[in-house]
Amino acid sequence: MTEPNHDIMISLRDVGACYKRKRRILRRAEPDFWALQGVSFDLHQGDALGVIGRNGVGKSTLLRLLAGIVKPDRGTLVNPGYQATLLSLQVGFLSHLSGRKNAILSGMLLGMPKKEIEAKMDAIIDFAELEDFIDEPINTYSSGMRARLGFATAFQIDPDVLLIDEVLGVGDAEFIQKSTKAMVQRIRSNKTVVLVSHNASLVREVCNRAVWIDQGLSHAVGPVEEVMGLYEESTGERTTKPKRETPREEEGNVPVLG
């Protein structure tokens, strides 16, 4: 992996985010829920930052904060104007609409101009292996076809910071291979990426830095080996570093997520 330069793109200091509970008459109000309480780290240009932690520690909320979908309720998040977009598959899909129109709609929601999506339509159709089906309404699609279209569309976005929540590859076994491979290549191509994952070996393999979130706090931040070491010490697991440094050309060595 090329050495990332160290320009800070997004910087977080003691960031917390809180979800208000529903208020109901005739029922005692539950206390508000702080999904994140104090998270601090810097995201540098060219970083592939892995976010690890158990279920329900606020990893998805962290991605929403980075994407600008929600604002911190405490602390400061500084983003001087970089576009950070969550890789959302099939976002905005409407089931009676044609595949082509859904790709445009989804792409626009992901922040791409309409013209750009139209220009990339052939690439989308090709990658999704949809051919003539692209003009059929997607309720005639199999779930695999829909997944392929969703991935092929979302994969076209090229934001300053790409945010990924767990899933790298989708679809049937073959397409999972293909899409995961494409995504791993994208992560390794010196793009700035934030990857949330349970999969420790995947984080080791594709990320250069990591942040460990526990109980809403950033427990450790730093080079991926260091942070993963601490994390695995605490959980008692151990994943080994992949044997080769650059497994990208070899099939079968690509991590697959279910």
Partner 1 sequence: MLNSRTLSLILFQTDAELSVEAERTYAGYLWWVVEPIVSMAIYFLVFGVLFKRGTPDYVPFLFVGLIPWRWLSGSVQRGASSILNARSLMQQVYLPKIVLPTVSILSNAFKFLIVFLILITYLMIEGYRISTAYFALPLVIVAGLLWISALTFVFAAVVPFFPDLRIILDNMLRLVFFVSGIFFELRTMTPEHQSLLRLNPFAVLVEAFRDILLRGNWPLWEPLLLGSAASVIVIAVGWLWIARNDCIYPKLGY
Binding site residues, partner 1, CB under 8 A: 17-22, 33, 64, 67-71, 85-86, 88, 91-92, 94-97, 101, 104-105, 108-111, 113-114, 137
Is the CB of 108 or the CB of 182 nearer to partner 1? 108
**Is-contact 174 146, C-beta < 8 A?**
no
Give the pair of three-digit tokens for residue 168: 């790298």
**DSSP bridge pairs for 220:** 212
**DSSP bridge pairs for 13:** 76
Contacts (Cβ under 8 Å, ≥6 apart) of 206:
48, 50, 184, 187, 188, 195, 255
Contacts (Cβ under 8 Å, ≥6 apart) of 104:
114, 117, 118
DSSP state of 171: S
- Pairwise CA distance, residues 204 & 50, whole Å: 8
| Minimal distance, residue 68 CB to partner 1, in Å | 5
Is the CB of 6 or the CB of 114 nearer to partner 1? 114
| Minimal distance, residue 70 CB to partner 1, in Å | 5
Is the CB of 145 or the CB of 163 nearer to partner 1? 163
**Is-contact 149 124, C-beta < 8 A?**
yes
DSSP state of 213: E
| Minimal distance, residue 85 CB to partner 1, in Å | 7
| Minimal distance, residue 39 CB to partner 1, in Å | 16
| Minimal distance, residue 105 CB to partner 1, in Å | 6
| Minimal distance, residue 200 CB to partner 1, in Å | 25
Is the CB of 158 or the CB of 233 nearer to partner 1? 158
**Is-contact 200 237, C-beta < 8 A?**
yes
Question: With the C-alpha atoms ordered 133, 186, 204, 54, is the resulting torsion angle positive or negative?
Answer: negative
Is the CB of 67 or the CB of 206 nearer to partner 1? 67
Element containing residue 10 per DSSP (H, E): strand 8-19
Is the CB of 35 or the CB of 200 nearer to partner 1? 35
**Is-contact 175 195, C-beta < 8 A?**
no
Is the CB of 92 or the CB of 144 nearer to partner 1? 92
| Minimal distance, residue 101 CB to partner 1, in Å | 6
